[in-house]
A and B are shown apart, each in its own frame.
Chain A
Amino acid sequence: DAKTTQPPSMDCAEGRAANLPCNHSTISGNEYVYWYRQIHSQGPQYIIHGLKNNETNEMASLIITEDRKSSTLILPHATLRDTAVYYCIVRVVDATNKLIFGTGTLLAVQP
Chain B
Amino acid sequence: GAVVSQHPSWVICKSGTSVKIECRSLDFQATTMFWYRQFPKQSLMLMATSNEGSKATYEQGVEKDKFLINHASLTLSTLTVTSAHPEDSSFYICSARDKGSGRRAGANVLTFGAGSRLTVL
Contacts and interface: CB of A to CB of B under 8 A. Distances in A.
Interface of A: 32, 34, 38, 41-46, 49, 55, 57, 85, 87, 91, 93-94, 96-104
Contacts, number: 64
B91 interface: yes
A33 B110 CA distance: 14
A101 B93 CA distance: 13
A104 B97 contact: no
A44 B93 contact: yes
A43 B108 contact: no
Given A97-B97, A98-B46, A103-B43, A41 B91 contact: yes
B112 A93 contact: no
A93 B107 contact: yes
Interface of B: 4, 6, 32, 34, 36, 43-46, 49, 91, 93, 95, 97, 103-104, 106-115, 117
Majority SS at the chain A contact face: loop
Chain A CB within 10 Å, residue with most, of B4, B104, B112: B112
A43 B95 contact: yes
Given A91-B108, A97-B97, A104-B43, A43 B113 contact: yes
Nearest to A99: B110
Contact of B108 (A32, A38, A42): A32
A110 B22 CA distance: 36
A93 B108 contact: yes
Contacts of B44: 38, 44, 101
B6 to A, nearest CB: 8
Given A41-B91, A44-B44, A98 B34 contact: yes
A51 B119 CA distance: 40
A68 to B, nearest CB: 17
Given A32-B107, A98-B46, A102-B43, A43 B32 contact: no
Contacts of A34: 108-109
A99 B115 CA distance: 16
**Most chain B Cβ neighbours within 10 Å, of A45, A49, A94, A104:** A49
Closest A-B pairs by Cβ, 8 of them: A43-B112, A101-B44, A101-B43, A44-B112, A97-B97, A43-B93, A43-B115, A43-B114
